[in-house]
Structure 1
Amino acid sequence: MGKKGNRIQIILECSEQKKSGIGGVSRYVTTKNKRNTPKRIELKKYNSILRKYTLHKEIK
């Protein structure tokens, strides 16, 4: 049997695009260690619709 890890898959969604009301969604899928970072993470990622780096927040 394989051991269970602490890494879980999460989805990051652009918060600036949501506020602006522009259609479409910018999302990234990544992993995080739930033991080291129990809170939701925020990263700056590239948004191809807005064509700039924006703040992406973890969604459930």
Structure 2
Amino acid sequence: MAGKKVALACTVCGSRNYTITENAQRAERLEVRKFCKHCGKHTLHKETR
């Protein structure tokens, strides 16, 4: 069975560029620096639910 998908949203423009599988063991929301194709640079992306 496939896990539930959650999106990573750019903190600058709000675009949801990436999806990951949800991890029930992670207590805090994931924050990673990823490339945003809308901003054209690496920005902080936060997990949305």
TM range (shorter): 0.7 to 0.9
Q: Which residue of 1 aligns with 2:36?
A: 47
Report which of the two structures shows the higher radius of gyration computed on alpha carbons.
1
The question of whether the paired residues in 2 share the 8 Å contact of 1:14 and 1:55 is answered with yes
Q: 2:23 aligns with which of 30, 33, 43?
A: 33
**Taking every aligned residue pair, what percent have the same amino acid on both sides?**
29
What stretches of structure 1 move > 3 A for 4+ residues in a row? none
Change in 2 beyond 3 A, CA 1:15/1:48: same
TM-score (norm 1): 0.63
Q: Where do 5+ consecutive residues of structure 1 fail to align? A: 19-24
Give the alignment's Cα RMSD to 1 decimal.
2.2
Q: Which structure: greater helix fraction?
A: 1
Residue in structure 2 matching 1:57, options 31, 34, 46: 46
Counterpart amino acid of 2:21?
A: T
Equivalent pairs, count: 49
Give the deviation of 1:52 after TM superposition: 0.6
